[in-house]
Structures are given as C-alpha cells and as structure tokens.
Structure 1
Amino acid sequence: MNIASSDVTVPPARPAPPSVHALPNGLAAFLVFFSSGAVLVLETVALRLVGPYVGVTLQVTSSVIGIALAAIAYGAWSGGWLADRRDPRPLLAPALVLAGIATAITLPVVRYAGEVLRGGAASAILLLVALAVFVPAMLLAAVTPLVVKLQLADLRRTGQVVGRLSGIGTLGGITATLLTGFVLVAALPSTVILLALAVALGVTGLGLGWYLRRQVRAELPGPARAPAALAVLGLVGAGLTTVAPNPCDIETAYHCARVATDPARASGRTLLLNSAQHSYVDLADPRHLEYAYTKWFGAVTDVVAPAGQRLDALHLGGGGFTVPRYLTATRPGTDNLVFEIDGGLIELGERELGVRQGPDLRAVTGDARMLVAGEPTDSRDLVVGDAFGHLVVPWHLATREMAADIRRVTRPNGVYVQNVIDYPPLRFIRSELATVGAEFPHVALIAPPEALVGEQGSNFVIVASDAPLPLDAIRARLAEVDAQVSLVSDAELDGFVDDALVLTDDFAPVDQLLATA
C-alpha cells in the first residue's frame, strides 16, 4: 500500500536539551582564554630563559616557536582523544595543576640543563627549548578540546561553539603576547613571571576542581588528596629554583646581565650579557682598553683625531660604554651620543660601570636603525658600530640601507668603524665588507692573520670613509697596540671579499651566513 508523501505529518524539530555536563559559558570562555594565554606567556619568556646558554638568534627564536607549536598540536590532539573517551570534567583541574607544576619546574630544569648544553649546536638548542616549553604548553593546549567537548550540547550549534571558543583562545594568546612583551618582561624578572604563572595555574586548577565537585555533588574519580599532593609537588619544584644556578645579576628587557670584578685588576669590571663577555671597563682608568677590538678602535681614532682633538662621535650600541669613556678621557670636549636599545644597560652602566651622563656623554634608549634616521646629515666625525644581539650583529643594522644612512650622517672626512664577530668559513664578514663597500668608497679591515685565513673565529673591525684612509699611519699605530693584528685593504681586501653577497633590507640572512655547518 502506497502512502502519498502529503499524507505524512512530520513533527517540528525540537532543540536538544542542554547537556547537564556543560560548563557555564563564562567559565568555559575563561578557561580557554586563560590556558591559551598561558602558552604564549611561556613561549615569550622561554627566549629569556634559554638566551644565557644558547644565545638569542634566529635559530633559537625559530626553535621556541616550532617547539611551542608542536606542544600545542600534541596537546590539542591528546585532549580531544581523551575527551571522546572520558568525562572531561575530572581532567580539567589536573591539567591546569600539572601545567602549573611543569611551569614551576621549568626554571631549575633549564638552569641546570643549560649549564650542560651551553653554546651547543642545533640539537642542544632544540633540547633546551623543549625542556623549557613542551610539557606545560602541551598540558595547557589540552584544555581547549576538553572544554569544547563539554559545550557541544547541540550538534546544530557545533560550528558556533567551536568557532567562538577558538576565537576566545586566539584572543587569549594575543593578549598574553602583548602583555608579556610590552609590560611583564620590561617590569619583572623571568623567575617572577614564571612562578606567578605557575601559582595562577595551580590556584585556578584547585579552584576549578572544588567547583566541579560541588556541581556534580559527588567526588570526581580519583582521591581528593591528589590535587593537594600535586600542589605540594609544585612547591617543591619551585623551591629548586632557589638553589639552581642563576647566570644573571639582573634581567633587563633584552638581556641577562652580570657585572664581574676582574681578579687581576681591582678596578676592572667585565659586563656579561647572556653569559657572554661583552665589555670591559677600568673604573679607575677609562683610557685602559682590555679587549683587542677596542684597542683597534682606539688606534684608528688616535690616527684620524690626535689626542686632545674633540670629536662629534656617534655610538651604535652602548654596552659597557668603554669607547665613549675612552674618547671623553683622551679628547676632552668630545660629544658622545650613544644609541642603546636596552635602557636597563644604561642604568646598569650608571650604577656599576662608571658611566656619567652630561655634556660629553648622552645615552638615548632606542633602536639604532630608527634613531640614526633622525640624525642630521654630515653631523659626526666618528661613527662606532658595536651593537650586538648576543654575538650577532642585528640584521637590520648590517644592510646596505643602514650603511647608506651611516654614510649620510658621517662627515666627508669622517670615519665609520664597525665591530663584527665571525667564524670560519667567514661568510658574514665578507658580506658585511661588501655591504659597507657598496656605500663607502674607501674600506679597510683589521683582524688577526689566523682569522683572515679561516683558522679561527674572531672580532673583525671594518674601517670605512668617504675620504682616503691613512693606511700607513693606522698600520703603524696598530703595531704599537697589537703587534699580531693585520690591516687589509685595496686589492688584498677585494680578494678576501670576492663575490660576497651585499646585504639589503630585502635579503639579509645574517644568521645563516654565521652558521658554521
């Protein structure tokens, strides 16, 4: 018997009743926002944690981003897998508490492991970053799929629920990134940031567990003592931080900084940034130049401007302010303008390294690339390039466009000297010479003979000018301060540079050129 379709009455669809397991929308949004934000706090602070041991290079930054993304991927996958097999409610609070414990333990783990992996190759960088980020980030990434599962009460609103919570998680990450980068890192040490985050995660997890037990009016699976035991474990982990080796006296916005007294010279002070020797100053004698490259700087200056002749000098990078103090002592009346991106180093220099600002020394906080652009044309007799991120010249200070701006600021008879660190096969110093030579018609290079033939890494000092350089006088002065160093110019320098890449704002692979492998 056939029944016409018009004879069939289809009852109207009724919305599915809300799930008794769903969290209040506000609580669900908070958990996703908070856990996603915590991951980005970890990722941002991880750069500061590992920097003293493996530097702050493109490879390190890429490792932090890559490991964090891997942790998010594994956490989201495992959280979703568990949510389909168990009631997510008993899992949420432990995930947050465990993430808090892992965050607290990160500090001593990285500091002990960092001493072993210090200065290692790519595998050491990846391992240290993984120790800093992976476990807590994976646990936090599992929270979102657990919350989503609880909120999916109506299959017709799946897209809306998933989209809303995904958007909230993204907003949490954005908020945490901006807050950490602009406020927290500038105001607080990494230790304080991570321990505060660990406490916040632990308290949130314990509070959530208490709320969920009240909600279902029954004990969730697992003994009630478990969260408390986990909290105690977290406190023990955090306590290890107090005995873990700390490479910093202070943390600035960019560096882990420490000032060490020279045991062989009571007035000598060494500035270490991210555990690397950066500057040396003699508090009693600003004329004393300890490091070879500063002696080379001094030799060039002694030739182009005899002692007592004042200069208008611009310094790209302050560090320990060794060269500005030397010029002030040897050439009274010199105007030293120092561009230092890290205001914390300026304060440290004033407090511990004998820096005194006044008519002969002015320190300006900011990025040298931006600040040089605002300097008047033909305003400086001497420009000193000595800016580093760890042991690497920041790429945007190594390009032809930067060299052109430095040439604009330098007077026709003025001189530009730039400190570069490179290692065999010396790709970066060759490219930087080609880059500077593309703007300045007269260029020379100061370096140890062993470094020039690729037998060792070293400091290299580039000397450049619009006017012909007094090469014989510079060579003679160098022989007085460092008999082992060479001055390379003209055809010999052309042969050394060969067909090296000229770095530009569009293409400046500084970190890759510095890679030794």
Structure 2
Amino acid sequence: MTRTTPLCLLVTAQGVVSAASLVVEIVAGRMLAPHVGMSLYTWTAVIAVVLAGFSAGHWWGGRLAEKPAPVSLRWTGGAMLAGAITTGGAVLLLPAVAGWVLHVVPQQIWSITALTALVFFLPSFFAGVPAPVLAMIAVTSTDRTGPALGAMFASGAIGAIAGTLLAGFFFISWLGSSATLVVVTAVYLVSGLLFFRLGGWSGTGAEFLASLVALGTATLALNAPAPCDRESRYFCLRVEDISANPSDPVRLMVIDHLAHGISAARLPEVQFTEHTAMLDRLSILRATRAEFTSFHIGGGNYAVPRAFAARGTGEITVAEIDPAVTQMAAESFWFDPASATVLHEDGRHALLTRPEARFDIIIGDAFTDVVVPVHLVTREFFELAAKRLSDGGSFLMNVIDHEDRLGALASIVVTMQTVFPVVEVWAEQVQPTPGQRMVFVVVGGDVPTQSDSFLASAPNQKAFGALSDEMVAEMADRHGRVLTDDFAPIDRLMGLTD
C-alpha cells in the first residue's frame, strides 16, 4: 500500500495539516481575547499549550508509526477526525467554560493557561499525530530516505509559515475566528478521510460516524453566537447601549474584554469615565492657547477628540492603529472623521516618521489589555514625544495600576522624569479600597499645572487632584525604575505575574 503512495501526496498532506494547526494557534489568541484580553501572557499561554499538544501528538504518532503502514494510517485518520471534532468544538467549549475557569482560578496567568489548555490542547495534540507517521512512510517508501525525510520536514515548516500568514492576514479579518476554525475543521475532516482511504477502510462504520460528528460540530460552531459585533485584524469590538432613555442614546465601546469609552449622542463635551475627564480637562488647563493642536495616541471611541472638536480647539490628529475602531466610532459613537486627521498606524511610528510635526498637547491613551504597550512607556519614546511638542507643550498619559503596587506607575514617572522637567500624577480625589485598580494621568512638561485640583463631569461632577510632590517622590524611590526599549517589564510591574 505505502509503496504506491506518491511522496508528493505525503508531502502535501503534511504541509496542509501543519498549516491548519498553525491557523488554530493564531486563532486561539484571538478567541481568548474577549475573555482574558490580549497580552504577553495570553500569547505565552497559547504558544506553550499548542507546543505541548504538538509534542504529545508527535510522541503518540511516533508509536503509531511502528505499526504496519495501513494500520498507522487508519489510526492517523482517526486522530484527524478527532482533531476536527475538538477544533470545531473549541468554538462551543470556550464560552461555556471561560467564566467557570476564571472564577475557580483567580490568578490571571494561571487562569489564562488553564483556559487555554482546556480548550486548545486536544486540537493541537491530534494535529501533531500525522507528522511522524507520514515521515516514516515517506522514508520507507523510497530508496532515497534523506531527501524524503528532508521534504517532509520542509513541508511541515512551509505549511506552518503559510498557516501563520493566512490566519493573520486573511482568515481572521475576512472570516472571523469561528468561521476560520470551521475551515480548519473541514481540512482535518478531509485529511482524516484521505488517511483512511490510504490505509484501507476499517469496515466498522466508525469513520462515517466520526465524520458525521465532525460535520455536526462544525455546523454548531458556525451558528454559535459571535462574541464580537465586529472582529478586526486587531480586536474584538462590541457596542453596548447603556441608555436610561432610548431617545437619548449613551453607548459603551468594549474592545476585547474591557470597556474603552462611553459617549452620549447629545453631550459631546461631557466625559463618562475618569481617565477621559482628566485628559480632557488637563489638556485645557495646560494648553498655552485656546486653539491648541493635539495628537492622540489611541482613538478608542474618540470621546476626547470629539470633545475637542465640539469646543473648536486647534488641529486634531489621532493615531489609531485599527481602522475598524475608527469606523465603529463614526458609526456608533458620533465621531465625525472630518473633524480630525486620523492616521491608521502605530502612534510611536506616526511621531517618528513626521519629524516636522509639532503639537501643543500629546495624549497617550493606548492599551493592550490593561497595560500601556511596552514601546509607549520607555525613555526613548518619551524623548521622541518631547521633541514633537511645541514650546510650552505637554504630554499626558493614561495609566492603570493597583493601589497596593504602583510599580508600573512609579516606573513610568521615573522614566518621564529623565525627559521632562516637571512630572505630575493626577487621580480622582477619593479614598481607594485596598488593592483597587486605579486610573491615573501622568503629565510631563516644562511647568506645573496652574491648579492642583479641579472639578469635572464624568458624567457626574467629581474632584480630581495632583498627588503631592512628596508622595510622588516616595513612590518613585520605592517602586520606580527607568524603562528603556531594551528592558521595560511593564506587565510584571503591573503584578500580572504573581
């Protein structure tokens, strides 16, 4: 049987299975984001679990490879059908168990790892089975074992590259995560049937039954409720209406699993969150002129740029990496794209490639999960931002940290102090609860803000104030370290690894 199996067919099958398995790996991170966010630790868990699955699958496939070729091919066919069932089933399993896992395992890193293993280990395990079986058949079916083995390894690597590119550049943005896994389910199903055909049917009807289960699972997965209103290349986006009065709409934008902004149709100048209230009011307090220019790193629901436009401030530029976020802000959050220059690129890159640009206010409000992206908290970035400020200009950054840690906040402050003569930390004037996740705005500039407190609507009137110089100095001395492009462990400083 195996001596009549063309080597090109084995090489192609290996490449296709490898490509499909890498598609699952990329999609896993995207699917987990609405439940646990998209962070360094999400991707670390995904890669570790998938590699563990591949390794275990290769081990079992190596044991199957010792069997006669027809038998090993039938076992491999069964593994592929099981892979089809578990891959399609991941779409249904993840939302069913996510809440329970996150409740039972409260520590973030371990909860992400446990959830990833529960949902994506088995699809990776079954996808790892064919490689050693097909390699054994390839080298025993030809007199030139070296080239045959090399071709199998090369096919696996090329397939992995193709799967990664297809998932990142095509499948997720055009089909979405669920439909992409249904495509992989179909690939595994066809591969399983091919291996059964090459190895000879068992005659028990098990192949037919498993195929029906795989098809049923794929159908259910394709019709499962989508967690996103829109799934872009970067984020899972959702709009929630939180209006008390349907005729006076107020909407919340959710990116992955976190709220990223609230806006009201009739109140463009009113902010609904503490961080946008501070960014909005502090920009006005620190601007050296009424018609100040501003550069916004991160758009979100565009609440602050919309408020600036409503007041008639100067030229507004927004660097929002995801065009889908901008589109949703225009469609659902009353942002007028004509009121600002929108750059769909990374904020640091936008500043770096526009050396002639100068702004009165630069606002950093970009987040990956609850953490500011690492390249936006380093000394090198703050030096770049300072060069793009006009005389007397100010840099403002939204930062989240825990009341009992403050390592991330302190390090950002210490790092900004190497660049800006004056660095202030602002927060709502309210006593935090122990361990509370708090929102701060860090300000860098040449001179202090004229006032050390102010009232602002968020949407009810709240008091905000600057931390005393003594408090900032003590915090910086105890917890701070300078962050650089070479080393900026912002996730660890946030306490996400404990």
Is the pair's TM-score, using the shorter chain for normalization, greater than 0.5?
yes
Q: What TM-score do you get using the length of structure 2 for normalisation?
A: 0.92
Unpaired runs of 5+ residues, structure 1, are: 1-18, 214-219
Q: Tell whether the 8 Å contact from 2:84 to 2:186 is kept in structure 1 after alignment.
A: yes
Q: How far is the alpha carbon of 1:490 from its aligned partner?
A: 3.0
Task: Indicate which of 468, 475, 479 corresponds to 2:453.
Answer: 475
- Residue 295 of structure 2 is matched in structure 1 by 314
- Select 2:365's aligned residue among 378, 382, 386: 386
Residue equivalent to 2:260: 278
Alignment counterpart, residue 418 of structure 2, candidates 438, 462, 475? 438
> Following the alignment from structure 2 to structure 1, what is the Cα–Cα distance between the partners of residues 142 and 5?
16
What is the rounded CA distance, in whole Å, between the counterparts of 2:102 and 2:220 in structure 1?
20
Structure 1 residues 455 and 115: CA distance shift in structure 2, 3 A:
closer
Residues 138-159 of structure 1 deviation map (CA, whole Å, 9 limit, x = unaligned): 1111101111121222797444
For the pair 1:404 / 2:383, whether they are aligned, the reply is yes
For the residue of structure 1 that corresponds to 2:136, the secondary structure is helix
Please tell me whether the aligned partners of residues 247 and 275 of structure 1 are also in contact (alpha carbons under 8 angstroms).
no
Mapped partners of 1:24, 1:249: distance in 2: 46
Query: In the TM superposition, what whole-angstrom CA distance separates every residue of 1:192-243 from its partner, at most 9, and x where no partner exists?
Result: 1111111122123224434543xxxxxx3351x2222112212332344367
Corresponding position of 2:314:
334
Does the Cα contact within 8 Å between 2:7 and 2:148 map onto a contact in 1? no
- Structure 2 residue matching 1:270: 3-state secondary structure: strand
1:76-475 equivalences under 5 Å are: 76-86=58-68, 87-118=71-102, 120=106, 121-153=108-140, 157-210=144-197, 212-213=199-200, 220-223=201-204, 225-241=205-221, 244=224, 246-265=226-245, 266-305=248-287, 309-330=290-311, 332=312, 334-358=314-338, 360-377=339-356, 379-423=358-402, 424-448=404-428, 455-465=435-445, 467-472=446-451, 474-475=452-453
- Tell me which moved more, 478-487 or 425-434: 478-487
Judge which range, 253-262 or 374-383, deviates more.
374-383
Would you say the 8 A contact 1:377–1:410 is kept in 2? no
- Distance in 1, matches of 2:421 and 2:77, equals 67
* 1:273 Cα deviation from its structure 2 partner: 0.9
Point out the more displaced range, 281-290 or 451-460: 451-460
Segment drifting more, 91-100 vs 384-393: 91-100
Question: What is the one-letter code of the residue matched to 1:98?
Answer: A
Letter in 2 for 1:434: V
Would the alpha carbon gap of residues 380 and 454 (structure 1) be closer, same or farther in structure 2, given more than 3 Å must change?
Answer: farther
Deviations 1:120-148 (A, max 9, x none): 42222112111332111111111011111
Q: Which residue of 1 aligns with 2:25?
A: 43
Structure 2 CA distance for aligned equivalents of residues 299 and 333 of structure 1: 13
Q: Report the Cα distance in structure 1 between the residues aligned to 2:82 and 2:329, rounded to whole angstroms.
A: 41
* 1:315 partner letter: H
Q: 1:211 to 1:147 in 2, by over 3 A?
A: closer
Structure 2, unaligned stretches of length 5 or more? none
2-side partners of 1:118 and 1:410: how far apart? Answer: 43
Cα distance in 2, alignment partners of residues 445 and 50 from structure 1: 33
SS at match of 1:447: strand
- Bigger CA drift: 82-91 or 254-263? 82-91
Q: Which amino acid aligns with 1:327?
A: F
Read off the aligned partner of 1:137 and give its amino acid letter. S
Contact 2:275-2:398 within 8 A present in 1 as well: yes
Q: Secondary structure at the match of 2:334?
A: coil
Instruction: Name the CA distance, whole Å, in 1 between partners of 2:366 and 2:272.
Output: 18
Two-structure CA RMSD over aligned residues (Å)? 2.4
Letter in 2 for 1:41: V
1:35-90 deviations in Å (ceiling 9; x for gaps) = 11111101000001111111111111111111111111100000001221353221
Q: Say which is worse superposed, 113-122 or 494-503, in terms of deviation.
A: 113-122
How far does residue 309 in structure 1 lie from its aligned partner after superposition? 2.1
SS in 2 for 1:504: coil
Contact 1:319/1:345, CA 8 A, preserved across alignment: yes
SS at match of 1:498: helix
Change (3 A) 1:194 1:30: same
Deviates more, 1:184-193 or 1:37-46: 184-193
Q: Deviations over 1:358-412 (max 9, x none)?
A: 2x31211111121110223561011111001122111011111111111111112
What residue in structure 2 maps to residue 8 of structure 1?
A: none
1:437–1:155 CA distance, 2 compared to 1 (3 A): same
Q: 1-side partners of 2:462 and 2:123: how far apart? A: 54
CA contact (8 A) 1:315 1:338 kept: yes
How far apart, in 1, do the equivalents of 2:368 and 2:158 lie?
30
Shift of 1:188: 2.2
Kept after mapping to 2: 8 A contact 1:451/1:457: no
Which deviations, in whole Å up to 9, do the C-alpha atoms of 1:140-193 show, x marking residues without a partner?
A: 111011111212227974443322211210111011112211222232210111
Larger Cα-atom Rg: 1
SS in 2 for 1:444: strand
Amino acid at match of 1:428: A
Give the secondary-structure state (helix, strand or coil) at the position aligned to 1:88: helix
1:494 aligns with 2:467: no
Aligned to 1:13: none
Report the Cα offset of residue 449 of structure 1.
5.5
Separation in structure 2 between the aligned mates of residue 212 and residue 316 of structure 1, nearest angstrom: 57
Q: Flag the 1:143–1:20 CA change in 2: closer, same or farther, 3 A.
A: closer
Q: Is the 8 A contact 1:399 1:508 kept in 2?
A: yes
Name the amino acid aligned to 1:442.
Answer: V
Instruction: Give the Cα separation in 2 of the matches to 1:507 and 1:309.
Output: 39
Shift of 1:470: 2.5
Give the Cα separation in 1 of the matches to 2:198 and 2:462: 75
Structure 1 range deviating more: 370-379 or 341-350: 370-379
Give SS of 1:284's match: coil
The 1-side partners of 2:177 and 2:116 are apart by: 15
Contact 2:454 2:464 in 1 (8 A): no
- Per the TM alignment, residue 271 of structure 1 is displaced from its structure 2 partner at its CA by 0.0
Seen in structure 2, the aligned counterparts of structure 1 residues 22 and 91 have a Cα distance that, compared at 3 Å, is farther
Compared with structure 1, are the counterparts of its residues 478 and 325 closer, same or farther at alpha carbon in structure 2 (3 Å cutoff)? closer
